[in-house]
Amino acid sequence: MTIVETLVQWIIGTGAGVALYFATLPAWRGVEFSRPHRPSQMVLPAYLLFLVLAALLLITVIATTAGLQRVRISPLGVTRHETSPALKYWPDRLHRGHRGLLGVVDHELPPPQTRTPT
């Protein structure tokens, strides 16, 4: 149900966005660029417009699905899934290990050679 609601919002948003895009094209006539232009030169080809809208749809569905995996929806309400304590600290440990590895590699590398112009 939530994905359906998200798709309805995507349809409303893309419809409004495309309408505003075409409605504001004539206003660009007053903007000076390096050379004169017509609003018709700023119209996106149909296949690119559909590609952008498809990419937005894909991002919307992925974000909704990822967000729904973090919560549990029941008749009593919405609860968040609690992350186990072991998983809470792995990004910090990974970051520290990475920094330590870079420190060791950095000390083992010879200093960079500078070239003097001839």
Q: At what angle are helices 2-24 and 46-68 packed, to 10 degrees?
A: 150
Nearest to 60 by CA among 21, 18, 9, 19: 9
Q: What is the pLDDT of residues 52-107, one digit of tens each?
A: 999 999 999 888 888 777 777 667 766 666 666 666 667 777 777 777 776 665 56
The letter for the amino acid at 111 is: P
Q: What is the pLDDT of residue 109?
A: 57
Q: What is the pLDDT of residue 105?
A: 59
Q: What is the pLDDT of residues 5-47, one digit of tens each?
A: 889 999 999 999 999 999 988 888 777 777 777 778 888 889 9
What's the CA dihedral at 17, 47, 27, 8 to 10 degrees? -10
Nearest to 8 by CA among 75, 61, 55, 48: 61
